Structure 1
Amino acid sequence: MRTRFAIKIHSALERFFPERRVFLKSDTDTRFIRLRPVTQLFVFTGASLFVAWSIVATAVILMDSIGSGNFREQAKRDQRTYQARLSDLSAQRNGRAEEAVAAQERFNAALKQISVMQSELLQSETRRRELETGIEVIQSTLRDTMKDREAARTQVAELEGAAAGEGKATRAANGSSAPISLLAEALERTAAERDQVVIDAQDALIQADELNQKLALMREQNDAIFRQLEEAMTVSVAPLDKMFRSAGMPTDRMLATVRRGYSGQGGPLMPLSFSTRGEAPSPDTLRANRLLGQMDKLNMYRIAAQKAPFANPLKSSFRFSSPFGYRRDPKTGGRRMHSGTDFAAGMGTPIHSTAEGVVTHAGWSSGYGRLVKIQHEFGVETRYAHMSKLRVKVGQRVSRGQRIGDMGTSGRSTGVHLHYEVRVGGKAVNPMIFIKAANDVF
């Protein structure tokens, strides 16, 4: 049965691939090669597969070439768009820097004005107290003068009555006029004293009116000064409070920490007190004390701003190469959390501390490479990684803007850049929150 099936297959192949012979002739001999149908079938199949493979490979190469060209054009367009975006960001950054300088100048001018207004307020309050004391003295003198005037009038009336009685008795007794002349002189002196008392009382009333007018004018001036101070405090304190809240820092606990650290010299301002008799403070005193409390709060905010990382670690030109958050890992390609912000610049670019603090680490640290850690107030820590050179040591206290190292590509890095982290309570937060919050104020 197998033989019959093989014969049938052989017969079918012979119809399409008849047996052929290839003769090889030489000078002395003639040979041939017989090509059976099966052999021809294998050769034909192999040739067909090769041709098909060549066609498919050529098509794949052409499609890949066309796709590569499109990809390169798209990459070039993306690169041009990215460069334009970087130029816009650089222009915005320069504008923000100019705005920050102008805001800092306005802030300093406001502080100077507040200091001058505070001095004027204290001087005005002192003058007002002096005028009130002077008015009280004048009123007391006026009351005494009025009493003296009434007593003088009573005495004159009594003298006139006594003089009239004595004059009649004396004229009846001896007919002499000497006591009458003495009595007339006494009456004239009393009348002159009475007139002087009346004049002094009128002068005292006029002076009291003038002092009341001055006191009213001074109160208006004090009210204007108070309003300007309150507006200046609102303009100064509110942006600082917003800045700290935007950075996620608890302002009440932060201010309490600053106040504890500065309770000796440079501590909070003491409230005003003008009364030594246990009297309740006046509305102006309460208003002044509220302003002093806001000035104290402003001072605390300024101290806290110097101790928190509200600054940029780079002062020279740079670009943001990788933001905070989940991203595609540049080494493995997987999705991983990026706990900081990357700043790309040239090799050796100076790196500066973003706030004053104490260096807790300065050396090699696994994937960070050459790393500097700085511990700041309020439980905030900053990290500066992939440096080429360290310029601080462990335990060293640094100030804001101090150079702590040079940019490099040490550790797990694909190029020259700075990996900058901010950690609050040990948890990584977005550094741009602090940088943007500072740009809105300074």
Structure 2
Amino acid sequence: MRTRLAIKFDALLERSFPERRLFLRSDTDTRFIRLRPITQLIGFTGSALVVAWAIVATAILLMDSIGSGNFREQAKRDQKTYENRLNVLSSERDTRATEASASQQRFNLALEQISVMQSQLLSSETARRELETGIEVIQANLRKALKERDSARQDTETLQQANDAAPAANGALAEAGTSVGDTLGFLSAALADTAQERDQISSDAVGALMQADDLALQIKLMRDQNEQIFRQLEDAMTVSVKPLDKMFRAAGMNTDTIINQVRRGYSGQGGPLTPLSFSTQGEEPGADEQRANRILGQLDRLNLYRIAASKAPFANPVHNAVRYTSGFGYRRDPKTGGRRLHKGSDFAGPVGTPIYSTADGVVVHAGWGSGYGRLIKIKHAFGIETRYAHLSKIRVSVGQRVSRGDRIGDMGNSGRSTGTHLHYEVRVDGAAVNPMIYIKAANDVF
């Protein structure tokens, strides 16, 4: 049965692959190799498989090459876009810093104007009170003079009636007539002096009232100016405080806790300002005093925000143009290819690029770190720590206090690294957080 099937199969193959002979001739002999149909089929099949594999492999390589080229072009475009964005953000940051400085200068000038206006207001109020007291004294003297004048008139009329009623009195009364006439002359002169003094007092009172009206107008104008200054200061404080409050909240920091901590721990500067009190008679503060105290409270809060901002890592560790090569989060490890958590942000640039501290703090580590290479750790307030890794040179020492913007090292390629870059970390209470949260939060302020 097998023989018949083999014969039929060979017959079918003979149609497509007839038996062939391959002759091998030498100088002394001639031989041949018989190529049966089954042998030709195996050879053809093997050749077809090799050709198909070559075609598929070539196609895969071509597609991978094309895809890699597109990816590189896309990466270059993304890099260019990111660099342009960084330049724009840097320009905006410088503009915001200039505007903040100008606003602070305007605020200081307005505060000086408030002090001058308040001193003038106090002087005007004192002069007005003294003028009111003088007017009251003049009015009291005028009333007293009028009463004396009326009393003298009554005495004169009484004496005149008595003189008219007794024209033929005895000799003693006739002799007294001369004395009465002298008395009447004296009283008339006294009344004339009193009337003149009354007219003078009345004129002085009218002048005092006019001066009081002028002072009232000046006080009203000063109050209007104070109102305008208060509004400008309140607007300036709103514009200055709100961006800082938004910056801290965007970074995930509780503003009340931060302010209270700075107020408790900061000595020498940043303490609460003494509220204003314009009253010297134990009176309750007025509306202006309350508004001034509110502005001083906001100024104190702005100062505390400024201190807190200098202690938190809101600045960029690299000021030069760099390439942002890797962000915070899970990524493919550049060494092993496995998926691992990247606990910071990478900024690539030339060797020796200056690295700056992003906040005020104390250096707690400055040396070699496993995997980090040359590493700097800086301890900041609020439980924050920043790390600067893979450096080529360290410019600080352990225990040294640094301020924001101080140069602490140079970019390098030390440790577990594939190229020159800065690995920048931010840790809060020991847990790594995304550094870009702080950098982005400060874009609209610094």
TM over 0.5: yes
User: Which moves more between the two structures, 375-384 or 180-189?
Assistant: 180-189
* Aligned amino acid, residue 433 of structure 2: V
* Aligned amino acid, residue 332 of structure 1: T
User: Which moves more between the two structures, 80-89 or 209-218?
Assistant: 80-89
Deviation at 1:350, TM superposition (A): 1.5
Deviation at 1:152, TM superposition (A): 0.6
Q: Which residue pairs with 1:357 in the alignment? A: 361
Q: 1:403 aligns with which of 382, 400, 407?
A: 407
* Aligned amino acid, residue 128 of structure 1: L
Deviation at 1:372, TM superposition (A): 0.7
- Could you say if the C-alpha distance between residues 193 and 32 of structure 1 is closer, same or farther in structure 2, counting changes exceeding 3 Å? closer
1:191-239 Cα offsets, whole Å, 9 max, x none, are 1111111112111211111111111111111111111111111111000
Distance 1:210 1:171 in 2: 60
Q: Which residue pairs with 2:167 in the alignment? A: none
Q: Which residue pairs with 1:197 in the alignment? A: 201
1:26-48 Cα offsets, whole Å, 9 max, x none, are 97xx999998xxxx87x955x65
User: Which moves more between the two structures, 290-299 or 113-122?
Assistant: 113-122
- Could you say if the C-alpha distance between residues 24 and 174 of structure 1 is closer, same or farther in structure 2, counting changes exceeding 3 Å? closer
1:151-199 Cα offsets, whole Å, 9 max, x none, are 1100011122223444655984344243333222211111111111111
Matches within 5 A, 1:290-301: 290-301=294-305
Q: Which residue pairs with 2:175 in the alignment? A: 173
SS of equivalent residue, structure 1 residue 270: coil
Distance 1:121 1:298 in 2: 19
* Aligned amino acid, residue 209 of structure 2: L
Q: Quick check: 2:251–2:438 contact (8 Å CA) kept in 1?
A: yes
Q: 1:380 aligns with which of 374, 384, 394?
A: 384
Distance 2:63 2:431 in 1: 44
Deviation at 1:352, TM superposition (A): 1.1
- Could you say if the C-alpha distance between residues 424 and 106 of structure 1 is closer, same or farther in structure 2, counting changes exceeding 3 Å? same
Q: 2:155 aligns with which of 162, 180, 186?
A: 162
Deviation at 1:347, TM superposition (A): 1.8
User: Which moves more between the two structures, 298-307 or 263-272?
Assistant: 263-272
Distance 1:175 1:24 in 2: 193
Unaligned runs of 5+ in 2: 164-171
Q: Which residue pairs with 2:254 in the alignment? A: 250
Distance 1:181 1:75 in 2: 129
Deviation at 1:66, TM superposition (A): 2.8
Provide the aligned length of Structure 1 versus Structure 2. 429
- Could you say if the C-alpha distance between residues 156 and 97 of structure 1 is closer, same or farther in structure 2, counting changes exceeding 3 Å? same
Q: Which residue pairs with 2:143 in the alignment? A: 150
SS of equivalent residue, structure 1 residue 72: helix
Distance 1:328 1:292 in 2: 53
- Could you say if the C-alpha distance between residues 32 and 184 of structure 1 is closer, same or farther in structure 2, counting changes exceeding 3 Å? closer
Deviation at 1:139, TM superposition (A): 1.8
Distance 1:240 1:24 in 2: 97
SS of equivalent residue, structure 1 residue 154: helix
User: Which moves more between the two structures, 141-150 or 241-250?
Assistant: 141-150
Distance 1:254 1:115 in 2: 25
Distance 1:236 1:251 in 2: 15
* Aligned amino acid, residue 312 of structure 1: N
Q: Which residue pairs with 2:87 in the alignment? A: 94
User: Which moves more between the two structures, 7-16 or 72-81?
Assistant: 7-16
Q: Which residue pairs with 1:371 in the alignment? A: 375
Distance 2:76 2:26 in 1: 75
Deviation at 1:54, TM superposition (A): 3.5
Distance 1:34 1:327 in 2: 61
Deviation at 1:375, TM superposition (A): 0.6
Matches within 5 A, 1:274-293: 274-293=278-297
- Could you say if the C-alpha distance between residues 431 and 31 of structure 1 is closer, same or farther in structure 2, counting changes exceeding 3 Å? closer
Q: 1:82 aligns with which of 75, 100, 106?
A: 75
SS of equivalent residue, structure 1 residue 439: coil
Distance 1:106 1:351 in 2: 26
SS of equivalent residue, structure 2 residue 382: helix
Distance 2:290 2:24 in 1: 126
Deviation at 1:52, TM superposition (A): 3.1
Q: Which residue pairs with 1:341 in the alignment? A: 345
Identity of aligned residues (%): 47
Distance 1:196 1:23 in 2: 157
Distance 1:34 1:102 in 2: 90
Q: 1:223 aligns with which of 203, 227, 236?
A: 227
Distance 1:10 1:274 in 2: 123
Alignment pair present for 1:322 and 2:326: yes
Q: Which residue pairs with 2:106 in the alignment? A: 113
Deviation at 1:12, TM superposition (A): 8.5
Matches within 5 A, 1:415-434: 415-434=419-438
1:365-386 Cα offsets, whole Å, 9 max, x none, are 1111111111111111111111
* Aligned amino acid, residue 109 of structure 2: V
Distance 2:27 2:218 in 1: 143
Matches within 5 A, 1:263-282: 263-282=267-286
* Aligned amino acid, residue 134 of structure 1: A
* Aligned amino acid, residue 242 of structure 1: K
Deviation at 1:133, TM superposition (A): 2.4
Distance 1:10 1:175 in 2: 188
Distance 1:190 1:234 in 2: 64
Q: Quick check: 2:356–2:406 contact (8 Å CA) kept in 1?
A: yes
1:263-282 Cα offsets, whole Å, 9 max, x none, are 43442211111223332110
Deviation at 1:67, TM superposition (A): 2.8
Distance 2:48 2:384 in 1: 65
1:278-320 Cα offsets, whole Å, 9 max, x none, are 3211011111100000011111111111111111111111111
- Could you say if the C-alpha distance between residues 65 and 183 of structure 1 is closer, same or farther in structure 2, counting changes exceeding 3 Å? same
Alignment pair present for 1:71 and 2:64: yes
Distance 2:6 2:203 in 1: 157
Q: Quick check: 2:315–2:439 contact (8 Å CA) kept in 1?
A: yes
SS of equivalent residue, structure 2 residue 81: helix
Q: Quick check: 2:270–2:307 contact (8 Å CA) kept in 1?
A: no
* Aligned amino acid, residue 161 of structure 1: Q
- Could you say if the C-alpha distance between residues 141 and 63 of structure 1 is closer, same or farther in structure 2, counting changes exceeding 3 Å? same
- Could you say if the C-alpha distance between residues 392 and 6 of structure 1 is closer, same or farther in structure 2, counting changes exceeding 3 Å? same
User: Which moves more between the two structures, 290-299 or 131-140?
Assistant: 131-140
TM-score, normalised on structure 1? 0.88
- Could you say if the C-alpha distance between residues 349 and 53 of structure 1 is closer, same or farther in structure 2, counting changes exceeding 3 Å? farther
